[in-house]
Amino acid sequence: MAPHNDVEAFHEVLRSSKRILALCGAGLSASSGLPTFRGAGGLWRNYEATQLATMNAFRTDPGLVWLFYGYRRHMSLGAEPNPAHHALAALARENKDFICLTQNVDNHPSDQLRTLHGSLFDIKCSNNACGWIQHGNYDDPFCPALAPASVDMPPGEKLPLLDPYHRIKHVTEDEIPKCPSCNKGLQRPGVVWFGESLDEMMLAGVDVWMKQGKLDLMFVIGTSAQVWPAAGYISRAKALGARIVTVNPDAENEDEMFKVKPGDFAFGKDAAEYLPLLLEPVIGKLPEGGKKPSKDKGSQ
Ligand SMILES: [Zn+2]
């Protein structure tokens, strides 16, 4: 076995690692069967998903944007966390000096999970000057007018909302709840849209954690980590002494291997399948399906 994907050697490193950082991307959600609407072909009805994820789209048609997010909230609430989620949640329980940065929006923030791009389950005021935010809103539908986005269809049948030829009732601005703080702005999904900057408080919190000492290990899971700030965290982690371990189906491709420096690891595997095995020295063997019998909600 090449040293970069030697599980035994990795386990040795993991056993002696105290401060651990993880960065998770779309590949982790895709393993749960959740559409990530990234890249080409990210269509929702006849819209490019990337065009719906903007303040401009929300100003133009907040009801349409909310239907898109209402649908994603509903899908996300119905999705089972995959074994990689369970493994990361178990690592967070075992190691309080572990934090996970996620680029995915299908989970909610916690002390050990920092959501770089916000969360589908955060609601905030569309008026930036207001600053109102509500964490952990799981209402499904979010409001009565969004009920068409929260319908479960029998297997094989398509949700009418997803059929661009099926006319849907327009959701008007009046049907979307107003911000309870300023009474002016509309409530909007607490995700970072294109053209918006990341939450400074959240970034500052990550900085504080990073500066607390030497970093032993950084996981890069289900992401090519090419965009900022993801790429920046990898170089910062290296500067703090961390070894990098990449778990991604492409990780061992020829054009990716140049990133793997001596002492780093790369596993070209699906995280849902492989992460429980990689973390075994710390989290033990997860039961079949990855789920711990305890009150594990897989909040990662
Ligand atoms: Zn407000």
Ligand 1 centroid – CA 177 distance (Å) = 11
Structure confidence at residue 49 (pLDDT)? 82
Structure confidence at residue 289 (pLDDT)? 58
Indicate which residue of 85, 86, 117, 166 is catalytic.
117
Structure confidence at residue 297 (pLDDT)? 41
Binding-site members are 125, 130, 179, 182
Fold category of 35-78+118-197 in CATH: SIR2/SIRT2 'Small Domain' (3.30.1600)
Q: In what order do the strands lie in the sheet with 187-191?
A: 133-134, 118-125, 187-191
Structure letter (DSSP) for residue 204: H
Residue list, CB under 5 A from ion ligand 1: 125, 127, 130, 132, 179, 181-182, 185
Structure confidence at residue 41 (pLDDT)? 54
Ligand 1 centroid – CA 81 distance (Å) = 33
What is the mean pLDDT of each successive set of 10 residues along the chain, which is 300 residues long?
A: 87 97 90 67 77 94 96 92 94 96 88 94 95 95 96 84 85 98 97 93 95 96 80 93 94 87 94 95 82 45
**In the chain, domain spans:** 1-33+81-117+198-300, 35-78+118-197
Helix (H) or strand (E) holding 238: helix 230-239
Report the DSSP pairing between strands 20-24 and 98-102. parallel
Structure confidence at residue 281 (pLDDT)? 96
Dist CA 190 CA 72 (whole Å) = 13
pLDDT digits (tens, 9 = 90+) for 221-243: 998 777 777 889 999 999 999 99
Ligand 1 centroid – CA 132 distance (Å) = 5
Annotated catalytic, 117?
A: yes
Structure confidence at residue 63 (pLDDT)? 97
Fold category of 1-33+81-117+198-300 in CATH: Rossmann fold (3.40.50)
Ligand 1 centroid – CA 59 distance (Å) = 15
